[in-house]
Structure 1
Amino acid sequence: MPSTRAHIRFQVVIATGTALALAVTLPGLTAHADPVYPSAGQVKAAQAAVGDKAAQISVIEGQLKASNARLQEVQSAAEVAAERYNLARELLRQATDAAKAAGERAAAAQEIADIASNKLGQFAAATYMQGGNLGQLEAFLSSKGPQDVLDRAAGVQLITDIRNQVMQDADASSVVAGVLRRQAAQAQAQQLAAAQAAEDARVSAQAQVDVATAETARIQKQQGAMIAQLATLRNTSVTLERQRQAGLKAEAERRAAAAAKARAEAKARTAAKARAAAKARADAEARAARDAANRAPAPAPDSSSSSPNPGPVSGSVSAVIAFAQAQIGKPYEWGAAGPGTWDCSGLTMVAWAQAGVSLTHYTGWQWAETRRVPLSALQPGDLVFYGDSGATSHHVGLYVGGGQMIEAPETGKNVRYASIWRSDIVSEAGRP
């Protein structure tokens, strides 16, 4: 019997080992095995998460784009306010000069009136000393015959004429002095009003600059947070995301510049066609006039005619550009005209002064003080304007060639080179 029991034990061991081997080599046959692939619910959840992440990225990028537009808006508003202050300050300067001139004219007229009044007083005193009657001056005019009578009458008439002239001079001088006094008072009132307007414009400009500064800081902080969110959502670094957003912004600016350039070129082509049509009409009218003149007898030459005056000499453009280049890197300050800080119209004004050209410290008047030039015909030294129109422009730059200008841009930035192509560029430039 022992051999039988040993045989049974051997079979049990083999069976047990076989079962263990199968358990090791066939894990799917274990009693507690779970599936290792994602379920349909997990797939749907992952897809929803990806969609949510893409939606969040899209929203944040839209917010970044809107914040960039808001930055441009507040900065443009600050430029507008600064140029309004420049205008108010220029009007005050003119009102001050006018009040000073009016006061000087009134003082001179009063001096003349006082002299005339003194003469009248002296004449009246002399008459009084002679008895108050011109006819009683005959003590000075003895009568010794008919000729003496005539001479006496002539003398009396002469004295009467002198008296009347003195009285007329005194009256006229008094009237003129009164008129000029009133004009001086009116000019003084206008000066005071201009001073108040300039102060109001200064306060408004400072308030707008403060708003722009605070809004810029707020937006930049907000943009920093949004860029950090984008970096998290895209599994990138903040530095990389900043570079990406800077690139997207630069690309948007390039597209806007290209669109602005295309619009300007289209306007230039339209204007060129209009000028060509006008020239054709003028040429036809000139030919008709010449034909008519050829049929008529030639007029005698006019010895008083003179050659036309040459156009104004603008001076050395190279000196203008060299001066502007020397200001690069200096800070922007609204209302400033050097030497350490500049605003846009202050820089162009002083730069062109290097060539002997006088411009006003206000973009709208610099537009009026310069000749119109199409953007397709720009030359170094021309002024490029930005805004709804040249007359209401809020920014100006000095063109230096190659599509570039030197500008004093805005608060917080320095004088720099920049592309002239922006969405708000005016379709014509100004040539001093």
Structure 2
Amino acid sequence: MLVPLSSALCATVLGVTCTVVAASADPTPSSTPVPSRQDVRDARRAVAAGADDVPAVQAALRDANERLQRSAIAAERAEEAYNGARYRAQQAARAARRAAQRAGVAGEDLDRQRTAYAATLLADSQQAPQLTALAALASADGIEALMQRVSTIGNAQTALDLQYQRFLAASALAKAAEEQARSTDQAAQRTKDEAGAARETARRSADAAATEAAVIAARKAALVRKLARLQDISVATAAARQHALEQAAAEQAASAASAAAAAAEPAAATPPATPPTTPSSSAPDPTPAADPQPAPAPDPPTQTSDPAPTPDPDPDPPAPSSGAQAAIAFARAQLGEPYVWGAAGPDSWDCSGLTMKAWAAGGRSLPHYSVAQYEQSTPIRASQLRPGDLVFWGDSSSPSSIYHVALYIGDGRILHAPRTGEPVQEASMYYWTPPNFYARP
């Protein structure tokens, strides 16, 4: 049996033409040499190594996908950090403009008070020779005239003091407003510089992610070609099979994440059962002992009073308005358009730019920053999600860690702009990792 086995292995593994000969026949000089026992052992090891490489290649493909995902998430964190810095810079610039306006108003008031005080001072100085106490006494025609002049002197002095106090107050207010305007302007400049630095960081991160994606794509293509050789199929078939495997794995992971999220819902969502009115710990007594005071039983209170129902500890917020459908329709109209960091249309988007413009179409103004979109919406639980709500991904339990946002459309599905290289698309809410924040605009 050695010769047929050797011939088969030679034909299938080594890929050369072999001649099958009888065990007792001597090979002729023109025939191909029969593989030795060592050749057979080597061929068998090669076959075994090739079979072992299939799961190894598939594991390498999974690792490549995970690297791609990590790179994309790192880029999106940097991009949303830039959106946050830009949002804060816009807020600071508005605060600086308001402070400058207040300083301008205070300066105008100071000018008016300065003019009024100068006029009062001038009038007082013009009347001074006639309103001194000595002049009054000398020219007085009687006690009444004297008292009138004394009163006039007092009134003039009071008016002058009052005008001076107004001038001082206006001066202090103008100085404070000017100082605040200067401070807010400096803060605005700092946040503008921070936004510029964040922009550069985001640009570098996006470039690094794009480079990483290209390297990983080339690596995956090489792995798929190797997989095709190992499985003796075409590269196209191997790529289709690998894509189907990845899709099935993603759907399985999404299903598991959905089940885990449902199981993790807080117990407050389902009110506890009403405790029994009689203690369950006491053993039943078929012939209860006579109770000399049966009146205090718990029945009368239900007839004499109707206590207000206990409020839901976590009531559902109002359902999304009709604008939710407009928001979904807008986002759906952008399907297939490219992801570009910092973009908010009309033909390219990042995650928060898409949700901002979608809800603008629905009549709700939201900033171009995922953290601020969460902060300006009503937080909800996963079980409360309705079409039009927003779902968020963050690094921790703090909303300040949010780096991605998507528009919920129902049935566990979302519309979003995922990352560089991936266009606006519809996907499972659990397409990469479960979201950890939910809100209703």
TM range (shorter): 0.7 to 0.9
Aligned pairs for 1:179-258 within 5 A: 179-258=176-255
- The letter for the 1-side match of 2:386 is Q
1-structure distance, mates of 2:351, 2:226: 37
- Summarize the alignment of residues 18-57 of structure 1 with structure 2, pairs less than 5 Å apart: 40-57=37-54
Deviation readout 1:185-238 (Å, 9 max, x if unpaired):
110011001100111111111111000011101110111112212222222211
Pairing partner for 2:259 from 262, 269, 272: 262
- Out of 268, 276, 281, the position equivalent to 1:274 is 268
Question: What is the alpha-carbon distance in structure 1 between the residues aligned to residue 222 and residue 120 of structure 2?
Answer: 92
In structure 2, relative to structure 1, the CA distance for the partners of 1:58 and 1:32 (3 Å cut) is closer
The 1:147/1:351 distance shift into structure 2, 3 A limit, reads same
- Cα distance change of structure 1 residues 29 and 260 upon mapping to structure 2, 3 Å threshold: closer
Provide the residue aligned with 1:409 in structure 2: 418
Which residue pairs with 1:173 in the alignment?
170
Quote the residue 2:401 is aligned against.
392
Q: CA deviation at 1:170?
A: 0.8
Letter in 1 for 2:339: Y
1:90 counterpart residue number? 87
Identical aligned pairs, as a percentage? 35
Does the 8 Å contact 2:319/2:386 carry over to 1?
Answer: no
Deviation at 1:315, TM superposition (A): 4.3
Residues of 1 paired with 2:143 and 2:421: CA distance?
98
Superposed displacement of residue 146, structure 1:
1.1
Which residue is 1:324 aligned to?
Answer: 331
Are residue 357 (structure 1) and residue 351 (structure 2) matched? no
Indicate the SS of the match to 1:394: strand
Per-residue CA deviation, residues 317-374 of structure 1 (Å, 9 max, x unaligned), is: 2222222222222222111122222111111112112232222211112222222333
Map 1:99-138 to 2 at 5 A: 99-130=96-127, 134-135=131-132
Alpha carbons of structure 1 residues 67 and 342: separation in structure 2 relative to 1, 3 Å = same
1:345 aligns with 2:352: yes
User: CA RMSD of the aligned region, Å?
Assistant: 3.2
Tell me the CA shift for residue 41 of structure 1: 3.0
For residues 65 and 356 of structure 1, the distance between their equivalents in structure 2, rounded to whole angstroms, comes to 42
Other-structure match for 1:369:
376
**CA distance 1:279–1:187, change in 2 (3 Å):** farther
Deviations 1:104-151 (A, max 9, x none): 111111111111112222233333444579527957996221111111
Q: How many Å separate the matches in 1 of 2:115 and 2:25?
A: 136
| Contact 1:336–1:342 (Cα < 8 Å) also in 2 | yes
SS at match of 1:429: strand
Shift of 1:30: 6.5
Q: Secondary structure of 1:54's partner?
A: helix
- Aligned pairs for 1:303-314 (under 5 A) are 314=321
Give the whole-Å Cα distance in 2 for the aligned partners of 1:231 and 1:368: 50
Identify the residue that residue 55 of structure 2 maps to in structure 1: 58
Q: Deviations over 1:238-286 (max 9, x none)?
A: 1111112212211221222122112211112xx1x234458979xxxxx
Give, in angstroms, the shift of residue 55 of structure 1. Answer: 3.3
Does the CA-based 8 Å contact 1:102-1:180 persist in structure 2?
yes
Answer with 387-396 or 310-319: which moved more: 310-319
Distance in 1 (CA, whole Å) between partners of 2:97 and 2:85 is: 18
Q: Look up the match of 1:153.
A: 150
**Count of matched residue positions in the alignment of Structure 1 and Structure 2:** 381
The structure that is helix-richer by fraction is 1
Pick the structure with greater CA Rg.
Answer: 1
- Cα deviation for residue 313 of structure 1 reads 7.7
CA distance in 1, matches of 2:369, 2:327: 18
Match of 1:424 among 415, 426, 433: 433
Match of 1:284 in 2: none
Structure 1 unaligned regions, length at least 5:
1-26, 282-290, 296-309
